[in-house]
Amino acid sequence: MSDLRRHGRELLDASRSERTPSQQVKEQLIASLLEAAAQTALPADEPPPLASRLSRPGKALVLALLALAIGSGIYLAGRP
């Protein structure tokens, strides 16, 4: 590949400087990203997920009911 002529090099440099954001724009973008990331945390008044609220027997009961529902559905779908 051959080198660019002076005019081509100037055009390439100008396009590169146009698409590169300034330092101020970069700092504003980073600040807004950090602010958005800080707002994604769960509020303190929200209850914890159901899995952490259920006891071990409660989890076993939910699992058994799900298995029973799936098994019943398979059985009923296989009947003529």
Using one digit for the tens of pLDDT, what is the confidence trace for 1-37? Answer: 467 788 888 888 888 878 888 889 889 989 998 888 8
pLDDT above 80 for 51: no
**Same structural domain for residues 13 and 32?**
yes
Which domain does 61 fall in, by range?
A: 46-80
Query: Which residue is associated with the tokens 């660019």?
Result: 4
**Same structural domain for residues 60 and 79?**
yes
For 23-27, 44-48, 52-56, 73-77, which range has the lowest pLDDT when averaged over its residues? Answer: 44-48
Q: What is the pTM of this model?
A: 0.39
Number of domains the chain is built from: 2
Which one-letter amino acid corresponds to residue 65? L
**Same structural domain for residues 34 and 53?**
no
Nearest to 63 by CA among 78, 75, 74, 51: 51
State the pLDDT at residue 42. Answer: 59
**Same structural domain for residues 16 and 35?**
yes
